[in-house]
Amino acid sequence: MKHLRPALLGLVSVAYPLLVYFGLGRFEPRWMALPLAMMAVVRAVATKEKVWLATAAGALLLAASSMLGNHALPLKLYPVLVNAVLLTVFATSLAFPPSLIERLARLREPDLPPSGVAYTRRVTQVWCGFFVLNGGLALGTALWASDATWALYNGLIAYGLMGLLFAGEWLVRRRVRARHAHG
């Protein structure tokens, strides 16, 4: 059960845009705010980390706003919140090293050379840029696009772009490591 909760939370979070899109066609926004509120409560109970507690509080505010006003916009702003939180986490790690990507890299390679530290810092900066761009597009689709466009971008395209960034970084890392291995 301990491992099931984070997996279920992750699955619901990933599927959130599609759940909202299909749900809004059948239910009022105030009722569609309930899954967001439940996700926030589960996230708050499952963590002691301040950043995820703040995320849960933000999600609860969005859910409450949707419930009280019976508006869909607060529901559509959740991906913006997630991108803002991730940007904050990554950017904070740049201001207070080691960077988040360096911390992850050191799990596999504890004695990361200075070139690796510089590379992981650059990758963290790239992710910050991604979260700015992705969050901006999430905001734009929430404010000005149709529900279908919002769901398509936030429920599919954004994940595809994230996958491309992961794959692209993996390819670049292989070339960088090969270049450093050969001097």
Q: Tell me what the mean pLDDT of segment 126-134 comes to.
A: 98
Confidence of residue 133 (pLDDT cuts 50, 70, 90): very high
pLDDT digits (tens, 9 = 90+) for 37-93: 988 888 888 888 888 889 999 999 999 999 999 999 999 999 999 999 999 999 999
What proportions of the chain, in percent to the nearest 5, are helix, strand and coil?
A: 85, 0, 15
| Distance (Å) of CA 43 to CA 54, 77, 92, 146 | 10, 17, 21, 29
Note whether 103 and 48 are within 8 A (CB). Answer: no
| Averaged pLDDT of the chain | 92
Alpha-carbon distance of 48 to 70, in angstroms, equals 31
Confidence of residue 124 (pLDDT cuts 50, 70, 90): very high
Can you spell out the DSSP letters for 107-133?
HH-TT--HHHHHHHHHHHHHHHHHHHH
Give the residue among 46, 38, 45 at the shortest CA–CA distance from 62: 38
